[in-house]
Structure 1
Amino acid sequence: MSLDISPIEKALLRGKWTVLPQDNPSPVVDLARAVVEGRFRDALTSPGARELFHVQSPSFDLPFDQAFNPPSAAQGDDAELVRLTLAVACLHAFVQVNWTGPDLDVEPLEVISLGSAESTTAPLNEETLNQKAISELAQGGEPAYHLTKVAAFLRLAEILLALPYDRCQSALWWRLRAASIHQQILDEPVPQPPTLLASLEPLTESCSTEPDLAGRLILEQGLLEHQISHDKSAAERFVQAAKATGLEYELTGALGKRTKFQQFDLSQLVLLAESHLPDDDAATTGDTSKNTDEAAATTPADSRAQPTNLPETLALNDDTLLEQTEFTSSSPAGAESHLKHIDPSSQPALHPLDQCILLSMCLNVKNTSPSHGLTNEQMSPYIARVISHPRNWSVHTMALLLRSRLESARTRTVERSTLQLQALIDQMPTADSTLPERLLYFHTIPLSNRWELERELALRFLGLGVVRSALAIFERLEMWEEVVRCWGALERPDKAIAIVRDLLEGRKAEAEEVVSRGKTLAGGVGAGAGAGERQRQIHDAAREAKLWCLLGDLEPQRAVEHYERAWAVSGGTSGRAMRSLGGYHFARASYGEAIVCLKRAVAINPLLARSWFILGCACMREERWEEAKNAFARCVAIDEDDAESWNNLASMYLRMGPPGKEKDRKDDDEEGDGEAKPATTTTSIPFTNKLLAFRALKQGLKFSYDNWRMWSNYMVVAMDVGELNESCRALGRVVEETSAKAGADSVDVDVLDRLVNAVTRAPADPEEAAAAAAAAAGGGGGAEAAGAYSSPNEGHGLLRNVSGLFERILLPRVTSARVFRAYGRLLTWQGRWEEALGAYLDGYRCGAAGTLERDAAAAADVERWREAVGEVEDVVDVLRNFGPRVEGEGGAGGAKWRLQGRSIVRTFMGRTKDFEDEPEWERLVELQRELARKEENE
């Protein structure tokens, strides 16, 4: 189904007004133009808006969606468009105050039209209206930030957008934007209705002929997926957005320098990118981008004179690092690059929308890579490519913000990182750029709101040890969890407790006064009591529940009481209360109670991987394997990088029996009574479960490559499912990680023997194995031999990896009799007689017989001596069998095998004379005589 979007709707979506000759001037056109140009006061105080935002009751004692009753049915051709336009005005007014700045010139009560004041109820004020809206914006058990400004505008926008739209199809798109903004004011992300993104598919198809609109829509869907931690889906959306706009990009290398004293050019990572969208933003952004290509070729991007309407880009001013990488090559390293015509040091300016796509891809690199230096190296080229050509205020702000985050972990750049972040915060209320420009690409970038930026700055201060400065910011923002953290760092937990109690008891409307003066009001009498009562009334339930949870964290001896009080205050909607209570019970081994609490928590907000993980661990301790499996499966669905959850998921698969044989626990989860027993023994684990465990471990190892325990589990499971090639690789990784400490114990010799057996079952001659394979392919027998020749898990297909395991990993690191014997068997199968003989002799020296000769304490152990006798007989048999073959090949020492055998027997007998009375001694004497007779006969 193709949906039609009117030109006015497109102007609202793009944030750019174009002259429409076919439209006659009308009130709705004037209204839409005012919204696009950022004149929200004109739009929201228009007669049509006052009629739409009329409230019958002067006290406004009803919820927003009941107090306002806008007509859902169209009243005229333009009624829907008016509603949509006013919803956009409310939404962008909310964004202006809390994200982009500058200050807004209209307040919600100037927009809302109240009924006649006939009652004695106190008149409504802005603070009360704002707190009412904030309380209604709590979602999924997560409270909205309580200092959010003009929250009523967001509520009004959501109410208008929730109405049915028959003509204005772009309302679906604006619902997506409103949902994304709503997510960013909550404490934690909450799941969105599945229909939100699904309903946009027809709209995506209808926009396919307009690349900029299609790219915007797909990118914004990806950003919402990113907010709710669906990183894989988000990555796919970002790539689709690049295809929609025609953006060409490639991460490659080019010769260049990164330091001032670098003498030789080295390959540097660079992002080559080229836009194909029409460049129609130069006039609106004030960026003279038509001359930036030439300027970029001769002048570093950060040192060029920036357009006056863009954020300040601070210089690094380091005595070693360059401001940016200087590329000395005019072409990328890849000869087959489809962007090889681009000079890395002088790339063309990108369209701002394409810049947004690159910044989003950079975000996804951060989400899907391990937390180490490689991530920074991958992200930096994306950001540098955007910063080099500033085109838009919001986009450039986002790029500088991402660069600031990257540089916060490096000693040479941490100063600029902090100063740049402070500069970005300071620019928000200024009028250095127009509001339409700031809103132009706002929805296509994950720009943080004002309090999140300030919180980030405070956390930066805290990381640098500037605790008092961080504390001052947190107090002003009333972020009490961080305030508690700061007082903990200052070793004053009593201050934190006093603050939270004052807030809960309503003794202070402004908690920062309590902190700054270091004292509280006594008793709450007189005027203080009146102020406290008013503050208590405007506390919404979600915020009060959060404060009770915080008090529970601070007072562990009364934690259960406080968490349960939080649950009661919230009316059973506080996910934080159940998460905290579940964690409390889990830490004290009350796993049944923890399961009950955590199940309630994940039912309220299923997007928090940590809650699912603890729930899975609790179920595992209670032997409720099916439930634990489901919990860990949710963990990895939310956070694919969680290697520990992958490992636990594999463990659950290996503990579960066939379907239907485990007790169904669904009905008694809430009660938490009884225990689920293991469904079955390990011998009856279905092969499908083993295969699922193998796949889970394989995925988890991508994110925990150095975890030898996971490699050990992977090795055993891979062997069990017939993936011997992977088992071989895993055994090598275990030995590499543990041999320095564990020595020979790092080798699982049973697995090693099975690997050698899998190789040696096949015919040793490759031609014979190939002939068997051909015969099997022709319909005759020999399927097993054919498989051994072609399969990577046995025979010649496995030989290369097993040989490499011995030669590159095992033999250089460990000394073990069984390892040498296994290697000898492999060499014997290959017909390498002299090397096989040497391996068996090395194994003899490491075995019981060899150590018995050197260890006086072991020499007194008769059982050890009997084992050693068997080894002596075995090595003599090896010499008897391999000696003539080595001699026949002209190998050194082949003619002396009998002499070597007699020497081994004689030496062993000479050093273990204390066991002459044992029956096995006669076997040694007879073996010595046999060797002497054969030598005499020859």
Structure 2
Amino acid sequence: MSLDVDKIEKSLLVGKWDNNLEGSLPSSLVEIAQNVVDGAFHAALTSQSSRDLFAVKLPSDNLRSRPLDEWFDLTSTPEGASEEGELLRLILGVACLHAFVQVNWTGPDLEFKPLDVISISQESSEVVTEEYLHQRSISELAFGGEPAYHLARVPILLRLAKFLFELPYTHCRSAAWWRLRAWLVHEQVLDEPAAVPSDVLASVDPLIETFASHPDLAGRLVLEQGLLEHHLGHDKSAAEYFVRAARATQLEYELTGALGKRTKFQLNDITQLVLLAESSKREEDIEGISDGDNGDHTNADKPAEAADSSRLTIPETLALNDDTLLEQTQFTSSSAAESGNRLNHLDPSSQPPLHPLDQCILLCMCLNVKNTSPAHGLTAEQMSPYVARVISHPRNWSVHTMALLLRSRLESNRTRTVERSTLQLQALVDQMPTADSTIAERLMYVYQIPLPSKWEMEKELAMRFLSIGVVKSALEIFERLEMWEEVARCWQSMERGDKAITITRDLLEGRKAEADTVISRGKAAGSDRRHVLDAMREAKLWCLLGDLQPDHALEHYGRAWSVSKETSGRAMRSLGGYYFAREDFQNCVTCLRRAVTINPLLGRSWFVLGCAYVRLEDWEGAREAFTRCVTIDDEDGESWSNLASVHLRMGEAGQKAEAMDAKDAEVNPEENPPKQSDEKPQGIPFSNKLLAFRALKQGLKYSYENWRMWYNYMIVAMDVGELSEACRALTRVVEERSAKDGEACVDEDVLERLVDAVTRAPANPDEAVEAGGDAKSAVRNPNEGHGLLRRVTDLFERTILPRVSSPRIFRARARLLTWQGRWNDAVDTYLDGYRCSTAGMMEKGETDVEKWREAVNEVGDMVDILRNFGPRVEDYNWKSQARSIVRTFMGRTKDFEDEPEWSRLTEMQEELRREEGERDG
């Protein structure tokens, strides 16, 4: 009977042992694998097979000079057959990764030490100490110019796991999946995300087909791919993976509304957001029964608490205990509002428990709502139903912990919930060392949720303390975590910047040890830390000192770069920012180029680099930089705007931009707005303008309140013939600026061009259709004639005229009314324009001759308008109106009787009298 490799691999992946394997051929591999699945890592990693694999082969003289992966011969196969050898390496790699996650993420502490896992000779034991293993592992875990967190527990386990998963595998198909998981963990150990090898995601794609017959396995894999994309900042891609995961597990969900109450004193039911969700029915498959509910995940008749809590220990869920808010929304309707899908049978107040994997998917989707929603206050309201749906039915220790953590974050900004938010976060931190649930349960879904590490969760608690003014408690946590940048921030908030500088210098010069770690390793507090600090950590401290001492920043950043042997992305980012602030853009570009080469995932570095290129008028470089910005974060409205500006500047420089995707452009909205089209050089290619238009259109989705971007968008839209969009942009500019700037908020040139675009078409809709067609059935161009009319009319009637007025605005409006044949309205609008013109507002005692002459022309124009259009208005005495205008103006400006233009007024008056006399005669 051969060893069933596939079944063992599946048991390792889902964290649930397949009892059918007990009848397989007796093998130490089966025992080790079962120990790993059950969380008995001490037994697995101290077995003879493990110690043989992790035996140090190098002589002691070479250990300090050679990297860790050369210490071991990991390709040896002590079990004999290559299939068994591969499986052993995979199992032990899983054991190392799980043990690292246990001690740093889920708790409790490990029962063994690193030297219990690694076999070393007596001679080498003097060289290979736990301190040295820790230092070397942390140093080698630095990746992409980013240091690893130096207080991560037992980092050698993560190094060993990565060594094993990077080996070639022929028989174990899941090795690529475990490699993905190792990278997912590794990313969270780094200070900043760094780009993973390109094949990490691609290598697991074939497994989705392999596990197509196991929906939960396929769902897990897709969900983990999405989480890696999330950690790398690729939110759009992550969202697609999360939806695919839900599709794979056949999770049905819908965010809708149902009548209910949220407060204790609420009298009337109002619609509340609710997430309806239902898991698919699962038979006893590879996952078995994971949560003590007899395998029935859709039994709505059984109370959730009875089903889940009877055999499950979960984290403490703190009550709100508020005098106004209810503990949770109390739904009074038995069905959701207008739910038209397969979930309309669910009662919002009594939904069935969800499978833990589906709960993971909902929590990840909730996370993505946060990433892709604008900051308009809707995010918390959208996320809350997702979290509430998961919290209502606890099914797994880690999943419930993640749900409580998300709820704590959502409640941190509301006065009525901030207390529970902070206390809940404290409770989650305190539960980590406990053994209130099994290790296997804690690890079962840990790779499918964005659960932060212990130090990140404690950091979050300290930041929460800092936000509510409890600086001392925050400082104590940061010092214990040895997060010196945050320590410096605390001291600066207490106006003790000198203290932060002293601490940093003491750390660098060895006068201050990173105390908790040193004591735990049995070292004297005054020992020389220069030999203990790895290069990336030391470089980070020099950068911190540079931040704290601006006068010596250049020296300190340079020292950080040299200490790191030119691998510190942080040092180059700091130097780039230093040069940019001092307008040394050439050196800024040099430094930031190195920084983005080391770590290309940080959008801020690309943004500053793009701005430096703009100052140097290197448009190709600027386009590349801002394109990378919007590739990293396609919701970066400012970068889209800057990219648009760069495309236009490239055109001014005679360079033609090539079309990329639908993502293209941006300009600093505060600086160098695009010139109006009549002022632009004629040499800008139309393709450049079109790219700029598309980029601004994309950016405005995320910078809706930025009137400068709307103004730029309006000008570019006019240039490319998108007049309907120009009309929309002018509407937004007026809405944003009218209260402060009055009539100056209206670009009257653009407004007149919009009216021109409408009025150049025949006024009769049927005449505007070619070949004598019917206007009702014709497709109208939204950028001219009757297709544009409605937008321009709304622009005047709903946006501009209720807010601002000017003679040009009224004249433009009157021209539109004239084209429509609305003569009465047109004459009234012309008169409104005259009343707010120079002539209409001129008072007695005016002495400015030039202003008076301008007013005379306006009077003449108004008389001509009345003469031309007045007769078309039924029952309208236009001549009397015209005489009144002239007479009133002459009465107010008698001081100018000696001016030659006065005769023009008297002639107008006489001519109007004659015309009226002729009519009467």
Structure 2 residue aligned with 1:854, among 836, 843, 850? 843
What does residue 744 of structure 1 align with? 743
Taking a change above 3 Å as real, the CA distance of residues 375 and 583 of structure 1, as seen in their structure-2 partners, is: same
Amino acid aligned to 1:80: E
Amino acid aligned to 1:97: V
Q: Which deviates further from its counterpart, 14-23 or 263-272?
A: 14-23
Unpaired runs of 5+ residues, structure 2, are: 658-673
What does residue 863 of structure 1 align with? 850
Q: Which deviates further from its counterpart, 865-874 or 735-744?
A: 865-874
After TM superposition, the structure 1 = structure 2 runs for residues 896-935 of structure 1, keeping only pairs within 5 Å, are: 896-935=877-916
Contact 1:788–1:796 (Cα < 8 Å) also in 2: no
Amino acid aligned to 1:583: G
What does residue 524 of structure 1 align with? none
What does residue 875 of structure 1 align with? 862
Contact 1:752–1:822 (Cα < 8 Å) also in 2: yes
SS of match in other structure, 2:557: helix
Contact 1:789–1:796 (Cα < 8 Å) also in 2: no
C-alpha distance in 2 between matches for 1:513 and 1:435: 25
Taking a change above 3 Å as real, the CA distance of residues 303 and 89 of structure 1, as seen in their structure-2 partners, is: closer
After TM superposition, the structure 1 = structure 2 runs for residues 679-698 of structure 1, keeping only pairs within 5 Å, are: 682-698=681-697
After TM superposition, the structure 1 = structure 2 runs for residues 218-257 of structure 1, keeping only pairs within 5 Å, are: 218-257=222-261
What does residue 102 of structure 1 align with? 108
Q: Tell me the CA shift for residue 189 of structure 1.
A: 0.2
Amino acid aligned to 2:867: R
C-alpha distance in 2 between matches for 1:279 and 1:352: 15
SS of match in other structure, 2:262: strand
What does residue 325 of structure 1 align with? 329
C-alpha distance in 1 between matches for 2:327 and 2:701: 34
**In the alignment, structure 1 residue 823 sits paired with structure 2 residue 813:** yes
Contact 1:132–1:538 (Cα < 8 Å) also in 2: no
Contact 2:279–2:298 (Cα < 8 Å) also in 1: no
Taking a change above 3 Å as real, the CA distance of residues 283 and 165 of structure 1, as seen in their structure-2 partners, is: closer
Deviation track 1:786-831 (CA, whole Å, cap 9, x = no partner) reads: 9997101111111111101111111111121001001000111111
Q: Tell me the CA shift for residue 916 of structure 1.
A: 2.8
**In the alignment, structure 1 residue 112 sits paired with structure 2 residue 118:** yes
**In the alignment, structure 1 residue 362 sits paired with structure 2 residue 366:** yes
C-alpha distance in 1 between matches for 2:545 and 2:154: 29
Structure 2 residue aligned with 1:532, among 518, 527, 537? 527
After TM superposition, the structure 1 = structure 2 runs for residues 658-673 of structure 1, keeping only pairs within 5 Å, are: 661=655
What does residue 592 of structure 1 align with? 586
What does residue 630 of structure 1 align with? 624
**In the alignment, structure 1 residue 799 sits paired with structure 2 residue 789:** yes
**In the alignment, structure 1 residue 607 sits paired with structure 2 residue 601:** yes
Amino acid aligned to 2:744: D
Taking a change above 3 Å as real, the CA distance of residues 406 and 306 of structure 1, as seen in their structure-2 partners, is: farther
Contact 2:300–2:353 (Cα < 8 Å) also in 1: no
Amino acid aligned to 2:640: W
Q: Tell me the CA shift for residue 217 of structure 1.
A: 0.5
Contact 2:823–2:873 (Cα < 8 Å) also in 1: yes
Q: Tell me the CA shift for residue 151 of structure 1.
A: 0.3
Structure 1 residue aligned with 2:352, among 343, 348, 351? 348
After TM superposition, the structure 1 = structure 2 runs for residues 306-321 of structure 1, keeping only pairs within 5 Å, are: 309-321=313-325
After TM superposition, the structure 1 = structure 2 runs for residues 635-646 of structure 1, keeping only pairs within 5 Å, are: 635-646=629-640
SS of match in other structure, 2:19: coil
Structure 2 residue aligned with 1:814, among 804, 810, 830? 804
Taking a change above 3 Å as real, the CA distance of residues 716 and 354 of structure 1, as seen in their structure-2 partners, is: same
Taking a change above 3 Å as real, the CA distance of residues 638 and 568 of structure 1, as seen in their structure-2 partners, is: same
Q: Tell me the CA shift for residue 770 of structure 1.
A: 3.7
Amino acid aligned to 2:29: V
Contact 1:869–1:924 (Cα < 8 Å) also in 2: yes
Amino acid aligned to 2:647: Y
Contact 2:218–2:245 (Cα < 8 Å) also in 1: yes
What does residue 28 of structure 1 align with? 29
Amino acid aligned to 1:920: E
What does residue 544 of structure 2 align with? 550
**In the alignment, structure 1 residue 85 sits paired with structure 2 residue 72:** no
After TM superposition, the structure 1 = structure 2 runs for residues 55-94 of structure 1, keeping only pairs within 5 Å, are: 55-56=56-57, 57-58=59-60, 60-61=63-64, 62-71=66-75, 75-94=81-100
Contact 2:291–2:312 (Cα < 8 Å) also in 1: no
What does residue 14 of structure 2 align with? 14
Amino acid aligned to 1:930: E
Name the TM-score, length of structure 2 as normaliser.
Answer: 0.92
C-alpha distance in 2 between matches for 1:752 and 1:789: 24
After TM superposition, the structure 1 = structure 2 runs for residues 728-767 of structure 1, keeping only pairs within 5 Å, are: 728-767=727-766
What does residue 129 of structure 2 align with? 125
C-alpha distance in 2 between matches for 1:541 and 1:786: 75
Name the TM-score, length of structure 1 as normaliser.
Answer: 0.91
Contact 2:256–2:274 (Cα < 8 Å) also in 1: yes
SS of match in other structure, 1:251: strand
SS of match in other structure, 2:840: helix
C-alpha distance in 1 between matches for 2:86 and 2:92: 10
Contact 2:308–2:395 (Cα < 8 Å) also in 1: no
Contact 1:249–1:272 (Cα < 8 Å) also in 2: yes
Structure 2 residue aligned with 1:839, among 799, 822, 829? 829
Contact 1:548–1:562 (Cα < 8 Å) also in 2: yes
C-alpha distance in 1 between matches for 2:250 and 2:5: 22
**In the alignment, structure 1 residue 259 sits paired with structure 2 residue 253:** no
Q: Tell me the CA shift for residue 883 of structure 1.
A: 1.3
Contact 1:502–1:511 (Cα < 8 Å) also in 2: no
SS of match in other structure, 1:55: coil
Q: Tell me the CA shift for residue 409 of structure 1.
A: 0.7
Q: Tell me the CA shift for residue 204 of structure 1.
A: 1.4
Taking a change above 3 Å as real, the CA distance of residues 268 and 302 of structure 1, as seen in their structure-2 partners, is: farther
Aligned residue pair count? 885
Amino acid aligned to 2:856: V
Contact 2:90–2:164 (Cα < 8 Å) also in 1: yes
**In the alignment, structure 1 residue 189 sits paired with structure 2 residue 212:** no
Unpaired runs of 5+ residues, structure 1, are: 515-526, 664-677, 776-784
Taking a change above 3 Å as real, the CA distance of residues 418 and 573 of structure 1, as seen in their structure-2 partners, is: same
Deviation track 1:167-202 (CA, whole Å, cap 9, x = no partner) reads: 111100000000000000100000111111111221
Identity of aligned residues (%): 65
Taking a change above 3 Å as real, the CA distance of residues 384 and 333 of structure 1, as seen in their structure-2 partners, is: same
Taking a change above 3 Å as real, the CA distance of residues 787 and 698 of structure 1, as seen in their structure-2 partners, is: farther
Taking a change above 3 Å as real, the CA distance of residues 633 and 291 of structure 1, as seen in their structure-2 partners, is: closer
Contact 2:46–2:116 (Cα < 8 Å) also in 1: yes
Amino acid aligned to 2:598: I
Contact 1:788–1:795 (Cα < 8 Å) also in 2: no
Q: Tell me the CA shift for residue 302 of structure 1.
A: 13
Amino acid aligned to 1:109: L
C-alpha distance in 2 between matches for 1:253 and 1:107: 53
RMSD, aligned α-carbons: 2.6
**In the alignment, structure 1 residue 583 sits paired with structure 2 residue 564:** no
Deviation track 1:656-709 (CA, whole Å, cap 9, x = no partner) reads: 12898499xxxxxxxxxxxxxx9x974211111111111111111111211111
Contact 1:475–1:511 (Cα < 8 Å) also in 2: no
C-alpha distance in 2 between matches for 1:388 and 1:564: 54
Taking a change above 3 Å as real, the CA distance of residues 311 and 131 of structure 1, as seen in their structure-2 partners, is: same
Amino acid aligned to 1:877: D
C-alpha distance in 2 between matches for 1:823 and 1:506: 77
Amino acid aligned to 1:735: V
Taking a change above 3 Å as real, the CA distance of residues 317 and 295 of structure 1, as seen in their structure-2 partners, is: farther
Taking a change above 3 Å as real, the CA distance of residues 773 and 497 of structure 1, as seen in their structure-2 partners, is: farther
C-alpha distance in 2 between matches for 1:201 and 1:568: 41
